[in-house]
Amino acid sequence: DKASIGVTGLAVMGRNLARNLARHGHTVALHNRSEQRTRDLVERFGAEGTFVPTYSARDFVAALERPRKLVIMVKAGAPTDAVIEEFAPLLDEGDIIVDAGNAHFADTRRREAELRDRGLHFVGTGVSGGEEGALHGPSIMPGGSPESYDTLGPLLEDIAAKVDGTPCCAHIGPDGAGHFVKMVHNGIEYADMQLIAESFDLLRGALGLEPARIAEVFRTWNTGRLESYLIEITAEVLAHTDAATGTPFVDVVADQAEQKGTGRWTVQVGLDLGVPITGIAEATFARSLSGHTELRSAARGLAGPTRAPLTGAAAERFADDVEQALYASKVVAYAQGFNQIQAGSAEFGWDIDLGAVAAIWRGGCIIRARFLDDIRAAFRAEPDLPTLLTSGEFRGAVEDAQDAWRSVLSTAVRLGIPTPGFSTALAYYDALRAERLPAALVQGQRDYFGAHTYRRVDREGTFHTEWATEGRPEQLA
């Protein structure tokens, strides 16, 4: 019997995807560059379903029923191109190559166009949820042709996470749309993690709470509107004690955050598209700053305020205030991320359904959260919503939270606790709602030194002031 799907690249992600497919009753052809991983999988997990191990590209392709569906799960970048070049010549018109690795969407667009010319479908697919998700149900974000989704979609929906019986998998849009959305997902993940980390730092710095006590605060938050995988695991991490030293685990970890680069991609693309994703950018820079040990040790002695922790009513209120600040900042970060998806969709003609994106992020992925249900509802009610901040539900919640949000930030500033994520979120909120921005002055400066011209609030046209002679505006057009 032929396999309904094949997986090549059987490291942790590919192996678990293959097992997930087999556990759902699909016959799965297996292939990996080095044979050992294939043998390993069959030896250890062969009983979980029907696997067809193969040890050459030709045998792998021959094992697949047509149209062939083969999933590539290798190290992203040049290896993906190498694997495509190995298999594409062996395939027939209408076959489907799925790249489930973390490719940059621009690479996916290039590969899709090339393979389309050769009569093949190429489906760049975002997969989120790490190795556990791959095995038990990830959130799956496939791009590529709608036609390829007709054949491939049911298999992916089978193995995806389910929320209220709905699979966390949907066709996102043509060519690179799936990988683009996965990229923004990771960017939002950076922002969310940073905001949670700042909340911890605030609770510790302003109240002097121990990590185990802060874990309890997070557990309480996790029963409310902030309920999410990231809050849940944060409580676990904070409650964890280092066995070797008996001190809180978080205190023995070096405080330099690393990154694999998807956050950086999100920021770079945000700049290219002109979308102010300030929350994701600050989170990415915060990781970068933490790693600059030479800068940090040079600056360590710089003066700061005396830190007298909060007392009395202010202390009692503080954890609740931080919850509100975290919620409001999170709404901003997600609003920005969804704006980036809107911008990408417009730029590349993807016609992405934002409600569907929120729906498939509700389960399986790292940012899964109760909150995404509300985001889904907001875009269902108003598909062209300019920003989540003005949707019925979020508008009220953020307005209610703003006093606490401002209060937390003033405490942070007073005590010298760095809150780049919270700060940029509030600045964004205040800038968006402002009647007038000092951008008018920036335009004046630009016109002064570079004759860059400006528009006026009271008249149509483009204007330039002859700054050297007098301040009289002359209409140019």
Q: Per the residue annotation, which of 182, 198, 323, 330 is the catalytic one?
A: 182
| Least distance to ligand NDP, CB of residue 112, Å | 17
CB 116 within 8 A of CB 94: no
Active site residue 470: no
- C-alpha 275/C-alpha 111 separation (Å) is 26
What's the half-sphere exposure (Cβ side, CA atoms, 13 Å) at 438?
2
- C-alpha 429/C-alpha 337 separation (Å) is 14
- Measured in whole angstroms, the distance separating CA 261 from the mean position of its chain's CA atoms is 11
- C-alpha 318/C-alpha 315 separation (Å) is 5
Going from the C-alpha of 463 to that of each of 91, 449, 472, 473, 476, the distances in angstroms are: 60, 14, 10, 6, 6
190 is in an annotated binding site: yes
14 is in an annotated binding site: yes
| Least distance to ligand NDP, CB of residue 269, Å | 17
| 213 backbone dihedrals φ, ψ, rounded to 5° | -70, -40
Helix 278-291 and helix 312-348, axial crossing angle in degrees, nearest 10: 110
Tell me the one-letter amino acid at 281: A
| Least distance to ligand NDP, CB of residue 363, Å | 15
Q: What is the DSSP string of 73-89?
A: -S-SSHHHHHHHHHHGG
Between 193 and 409, CB nearer to ligand NDP = 193
| E strand or H helix that includes residue 8 | strand 5-8
**From candidates 3, 5, 7, 13, binder to ligand NDP by CB under 6 A:** 13
Residues 105-144: x/- map of binding to ligand NDP (CB under 6 A)?
Answer: ----------------------x--xx-------------
- Residue with the closest Cβ to ligand NDP? 101
Between 32 and 324, CB nearer to ligand NDP = 32
| Least distance to ligand NDP, CB of residue 362, Å | 18
| Least distance to ligand NDP, CB of residue 392, Å | 34
Question: Mapping DSSP to helix (H, G, I), strand (E, B) and coil, where does residue 7 land?
Answer: strand
Instruction: Indicate if the alpha-carbon torsion angle 242, 245, 246, 251 is positive or negative.
Output: negative
Between 80 and 329, CB nearer to ligand NDP = 80
Only one of the segments 8-16, 55-63, 163-171, 351-359 lies at the binding site for ligand NDP (rule: CB under 6 A); that segment is: 8-16
Residues 59-88: x/- map of binding to ligand NDP (CB under 6 A)?
Answer: --------------xxxx--x--xx-----
Total interface residues for ligand NDP by CB under 6 A:
22
Residue 11 interacts with ligand NDP (CB under 6 A): yes or no: yes
Between 83 and 325, CB nearer to ligand NDP = 83
Q: Which of 207, 227, 206 is nearest to 218 (CA)?
A: 227
| Least distance to ligand NDP, CB of residue 358, Å | 20
Q: Hey, which residues between 329 and 348 contact ligand NDP (CB under 6 A)?
A: none
34 is in an annotated binding site: yes
Between 12 and 434, CB nearer to ligand NDP = 12
Structure tokens at 410: 């003033």
Residue with tokens 């497919």: 21
| 362 backbone dihedrals φ, ψ, rounded to 5° | -70, -20
| Least distance to ligand NDP, CB of residue 100, Å | 6
- Measured in whole angstroms, the distance separating CA 274 from the mean position of its chain's CA atoms is 18
CB 207 within 8 A of CB 308: no
CB 139 within 8 A of CB 365: yes
Contacts of 424 (CB under 8 A, 6+ apart): 278, 279, 281, 282
Q: Hey, which residues between 25 and 64 contact ligand NDP (CB under 6 A)?
A: 32-34, 37
Active site residue 162: no
330 is in an annotated binding site: no
187 is in an annotated binding site: no
143 is in an annotated binding site: no
| Least distance to ligand NDP, CB of residue 107, Å | 11
Helix residue ranges, H only, 349-391: 354-360, 371-381
Q: Per the residue annotation, which of 112, 189, 198, 323 is the catalytic one?
A: 189
**From candidates 4, 38, 102, 234, binder to ligand NDP by CB under 6 A:** 102
CB 190 within 8 A of CB 280: yes
Please state the residue numbers annotated as binding site for NADP(+): 9-14, 32-34, 74-76, 102
Q: Which residues in this chain contact ligand NDP in the complex, by CB under 6 A?
A: 9-14, 32-34, 37, 73-76, 79, 82-83, 101-102, 127, 130-131
Annotated binding site for substrate: 102, 128-130, 185-186, 190, 260, 287, 446, 452
Residues making up the annotated binding site are: 9-14, 32-34, 74-76, 102, 128-130, 185-186, 190, 260, 287, 446, 452
Q: Which residues are catalytic?
A: 182, 189
